[in-house]
Amino acid sequence: MREERHIWKAKALGLWTEACTSKGNFYRSGTIKERAEEFNQLLYREDISILMAAIGGNNTNSILPYLDYEYLKAHPKIIIGYSDTTALLLAVYEKTGLPVFYGPALASSFGELPPFVDWTYAQFETMLQGYGKLPYTFPTPEYWTDEFIDWNRQTRGKEERENQWICVNPGQVKGRLIGGNLNTMEGFFGTEYMPEIRKGDLLFIEDSLKDACTIERSFSLLKLAGVFEKVGGIILGKHEKFDDNGTGRKPYEILLEVLGTPKIPILADFDCCHTHPMLTLPIGSEICLDAGAKSVTLLTNPLEKLR
């Protein structure tokens, strides 16, 4: 397993370095249309079955109008990533109906040292290569971390912190899983590329490197847009390096203030986010959230539509 992971990492870093150094765009690997065309060319290749982000970034929303959704719908591929890749994942899901996976990126996830990288990779492999009989309950990692160590200086695994998910409001509910990185969703929210939030959906949201002021604004956007009145439950991922602005408050406590008195199940500190390790979540699949039991269970096979 480790050998395969290191091969993936080497390829990802090579592609990322080439993209960032071969063109004079500085903050990006090419113009909007060039980047869209590069992605389309990957769609057209029959020898590629999985498209995975190498690392995070910005402005994936810029390329959404230029992607060949019709070709992808007729020739399905697995697409996986997190953070800014949320724009691509949700646009593909909205335009094609194909399942997409909110999960690790090659360099930023598989480039870590053990033990977290091995757990992340094992869960990725489990989700994409078969996880046995449904229903499948996602395991809770024993430890987690958001410690930062420069890749060029990393000689040890990151610190291990005891892990637990937090029941913010109890209850059990089943529904379609939808969501991703909240900051990224704000870049295309309300457009034709953002799936409509349906009654009873389970909303998954996570963010990174934000402060209390910023996430109050982001949560309030969802409230003002009527999203919280539709969803049947909320899964809030861990927030990497959260700045509480001196308040001592956690993201879920700010969410509670925005919501008022919650009437739906809410689970917080879920491990599908910018922290390590990371679960792989199939967006668009039906899941069961039992916030009181601190469990998330997959009910439908996301790979069925890709066969």
258-270 residue pLDDT tens: 999 999 999 999 9
- Cα separation of 95 and 228, whole Å? 24
* Euclidean distance between CA atoms 19 and 48, whole angstroms: 19
Q: Which residue has the higher pLDDT, 2 or 55?
A: 55
- The proportion of the chain whose per-residue pLDDT surpasses 90, expressed as a percent, equals 84
9 — pLDDT class (breaks 50, 70, 90):
very low
As a whole number of angstroms, the distance between CA 180 and CA 230 comes to: 17
Q: What is the pLDDT of residue 69?
A: 98
Q: What is 52-99 written as a DSSP string?
A: E-SS--S-GGGGGGGS-HHHHHHS--EEEE-GGGHHHHHHHHHHH---
Split at pLDDT 50, 70, 90, the class of 22 is low
Question: What proportions of the chain, in percent to the nearest 5, are helix, strand and coil?
Answer: 35, 20, 40
Per the rule left: phi > 0, alpha: psi between -120 and 50, beta: everything else, 201 is beta
For residue 2, what pLDDT is reported?
A: 52
User: What value does the mean pLDDT of the chain take?
Assistant: 92
Write out the catalytic residue numbers.
83, 206, 274
Delineate the domains of the chain, giving CATH numbers in brackets: 2-127 (3.40.50.10740), 135-306 (3.50.30.60)
| Residue 262, C-beta contacts closer than 8 angstroms, at least 6 positions apart | 168, 169, 256
Token pair in block for residue 277: 């390790």
- Average pLDDT value for residue range 86-109: 96
pLDDT digits (tens, 9 = 90+) for 54-95: 988 899 999 999 999 999 999 999 999 999 999 999 999 999
